[in-house]
Amino acid sequence: MQEKKNEIIVPSLTWVSDINSVIMNGFKPVFVDIDLSTLSTSSEEIIKKISKRTLAVFITHAQGFNGLTDKLLKYLKKKDISLIEDVCESHGAKHKNSKLGTYGLMSNFSFYYAHHMTTIEGGMICTNNKSLAIKFKNLSFHGWNRDPWLRHKKSLNMEF
């Protein structure tokens, strides 16, 4: 019998909202210590904690630092484990030549007034997964379609 993948590896330095999202969705958080040079989870510690029950790794890129390593990205790809990136404090930061928030299955950004880019409140979720994008959009509008451009494109029989 295959074990259920219900664990998400999370950093010991993050915000309660990240951990709450894991718990409230029925997953078990597995805490990993940070690398003091990046304030993000230690890639070595993540790899040690990965088990047959690991569904995803949730990384927080804190204080503008990059928490990714090539070794970690390669390992997650090999094991088919999703990456979730919290980029709330690291808008514009990069790993190699790509912006943080573009490596994982999904990423979140905050526009809270104390962060690098602000609208006083609110945020943004990014994904390149069409199914997740539709779910996120529906959640943001509480299930209502309030997007006039989408309605306009449909009336013109354009693909979206």
Give the C-alpha separation, 148 to 143, whole Å: 15
* 46 sits in which H/E element: helix 43-49
Question: Is 115 marked active-site?
Answer: yes
Catalytically annotated residue among 61, 91, 95, 115: 115
64, 86, 89, 107 from 139: Cα distances, Å: 28, 19, 23, 15
Owner of token pair 């006039």: 148
Q: Residues with catalytic annotation?
A: 115
